[in-house]
Amino acid sequence: MKQVLTNGMIEMARWSGLMPAFRKIFAGRAAILMFHEIQQDSRSELMTGTSVALFEYSLNWLRQEGWEIVSLATCLDRLASDSGAGGRYAVLTFDDGYRDNVATALPILERYSAPFTIYVPTGAPKRTLQAWWLGLREMFRSEDTVTIDAMDRRVHCPRLREKMAGLNEVTEWIHQDYNRIGMLAPTFNKAGLSLSALNEAYFLDERELQGLARHPLVSIGGHTGSHAALSCLDTESARAEMADNRRYLEQLLQLPVQHFAYPYGDSKACGPREAGFAKDIGFSTAVTTRHGHLSDTKSDHFALPRIGVGGQFDTTARFEARISGIQSAAHMLLGSQR
Ligand SMILES: [Zn+2]
């Protein structure tokens, strides 16, 4: 019901000319956008990333609405130095280091002269990453019946809609408790699914990353070694996941690595302890997946909020609602916690 009311409010605001008023009240001075894959054929990837169409739409919308696309460092500098006046800033971030970020997104980013940050876990270019989310997607994409033993669940999914719903259900189950990630291994083994083949197919390799790092628009950031949910690890392991990843990237790229993204990025995966590690290790910023704008100079640079773009349910209207602050307004007025 709340979703219906929210959608109604979003539509009303869009068509009633209230957009500018909402924006003034609810949108901050800046927003960090979060992307993962930028997909040429989203349907074949079960709508898990951002379509090229939505990606281009979002960049175009930002430009038309007067949001200047700047690097994360520039954005934080501007917010600190010109609070009160000044423009609105958007920062583009991409998690995990997907091949399509270079093959598909980069030519578009170049056209917009848009700086961007890519957060890379060591396991992706080293080809050791256990990317369970790609494994699950592959199973749902290629099979008409998927059995997840750990959930005691068997999903019959010959059609796209059922594949998307099934994938969503299992993904949600994992996000409820990141300790469940390891429970998927027997399922992948039984299905004869090779996570290392997916690793090779979907993630940039070391040489490609070295090339990309020299591009004037890009910053490469850290994203742990194994893409672990840091809160589930003991102090020593969590710290090592972050520090070793930074050291590896700096050595590989011969550049300082200043920015970090917490894998999964929600309150179950990271908190004040991890923010402390990020600071100690020498990162200058760390981003979460907590939804929100940056409004002032007081934002905690080690727990920065982001606005996600993409996924099964995203549309151009929803993108506009999120970035313009209408969604937050609707949730606030309807008493929902976001
Ligand atoms: Zn990630």
- In tens, the pLDDT along 89-144 reads 999 999 999 999 999 999 999 999 999 999 999 999 999 999 999 999 999 999 99
Q: Please state the domain extents for the chain.
A: 2-129+204-333, 131-202
Quick check: 337 pLDDT over 60? no
Quote the ligand 1 centre to 97 CA distance (angstroms): 9
* Dist. CA 120 → ligand 1 center (Å): 8
Quick: pLDDT tens for 152-168: 999 999 999 999 999 99
Tens digits of per-residue pLDDT, 44-57?
A: 999 999 999 999 99
Query: Cα dihedral sign for 335, 175, 219, 50?
Result: negative
Q: How far is the CA of 313 from the centre of ligand 1 (A)?
A: 19
**Percent of the chain with pLDDT strictly greater than 90:** 79
- Ligand 1 centroid to 227 CA: how many Å? 6
Decide which of 299 and 112 is more confident: 112
Question: pTM (2 decimals)?
Answer: 0.90
Domain 2-129+204-333 sits in CATH 3.20.20.370:
yes
Residue 252 makes CB contacts below 8 A (sequence gap 6+) with 125, 206, 209, 210
Count of residues for the chain?
Answer: 338
Residues with CB under 5 A from ligand 1 (ion): 95-96, 263
Nearest C-alpha neighbor of 52 from the set 104, 6, 99: 104
What is the whole-number distance in angstroms between the Cα of residue 15 and the centre of ligand 1? 36
Work out the pLDDT band at 72, boundaries 50, 70, 90. very high
Expressed in angstroms and rounded, the spacing between residue 281 Cα and the centre of ligand 1 is: 19
Instruction: Give the model confidence (pLDDT) of 182-221 as tens digits.
Output: 999 999 999 999 999 999 999 999 999 999 999 999 999 9
- Give the contacts of 116 (CB within 8 A, at least 6 positions apart): 71, 92, 93, 94, 105, 109, 217, 218, 219
For 55, the token pair is 């990606």
Nearest to 75 by CA among 27, 28, 30: 30
Alpha helix positions (H), the chain: 2-16, 19-26, 52-64, 72-81, 99-100, 106-111, 123-126, 132-142, 160-176, 185-190, 195-202, 206-213, 235-253, 272-281, 316-324, 326-333
